[in-house]
């Protein structure tokens, strides 16, 4: 795994944790927070791929 790939995945995981945590703190259930975090992580990875020197 290249350094670029690792950075993209780490930033995506961080964003997913952030969104999930904020969703949970907003009063939603844990399951809803997990789904929101997974969705945010999954959506951010292709965007990060394009932003960080993607081809």
* 33 backbone dihedrals φ, ψ, rounded to 5°: -65, -40
Single pTM value for the model: 0.85
Instruction: Break the chain into its structural domains and give their ranges.
Output: 3-51
Q: Are residues 18 and 38 in contact, defined by beta-carbon separation less than 8 angstroms?
A: no
- Give the list of residues 6+ apart from residue 32 with CB closer than 8 angstroms, or none: 23
Give the pLDDT of residue 1.
87
Q: Summarize pLDDT for 8-50 with one digit per residue, the tens.
A: 999 999 999 999 999 999 999 999 999 999 999 999 999 999 9
Confidence class for position 54, pLDDT limits 50, 70, 90: low
């Amino acid at each position: 795994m290249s350094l670029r790939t690792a950075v993209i995945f780490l930033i995506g995981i961080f964003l997913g944790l952030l969104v999930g945590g904020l969703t949970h703190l907003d009063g939603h259930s844990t399951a809803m927070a997990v789904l929101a975090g997974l969705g945010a992580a999954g959506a951010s990875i292709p965007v990060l791929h394009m932003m960080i020197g993607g081809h």
